[in-house]
């Protein structure tokens, strides 16, 4: 039984994304992470204010 080489049938993730991320992409990632991290204490504050 032989193993087939997988990259012959589907494009490699590395080959598809071989360029470095742009500054715009990095800023968007940081903003998304900051927004997501701020939601946790925000929901806790709203829950506390609502009496939960």
Q: How far apart are CA 26 and CA 10, in angstroms?
A: 27
- Residue 46 has what pLDDT? 94
Nearest Cα neighbor of 50 from 37, 31, 42, 35 is 42
Q: How far apart are CA 35 and CA 43, in angstroms?
A: 12
- Residue 24 has what pLDDT? 95
How would residue 52 be classed by pLDDT, with cut points 50, 70 and 90? confident
pLDDT tens, 6-47?
655 556 655 655 688 899 999 999 999 999 999 999 999 999
How would residue 49 be classed by pLDDT, with cut points 50, 70 and 90? very high
- Residue 20 has what pLDDT? 87
Q: How far apart are CA 13 and CA 29, in angstroms?
A: 19
């Amino acid at each position: 039984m032989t193993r087939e080489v997988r990259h012959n049938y589907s494009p490699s993730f590395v080959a598809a994304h071989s360029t470095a991320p742009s500054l715009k992409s990095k800023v968007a990632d940081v903003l998304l992470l900051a927004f997501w991290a701020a939601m946790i204490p925000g929901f806790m504050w709203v829950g506390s204010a609502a009496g939960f």
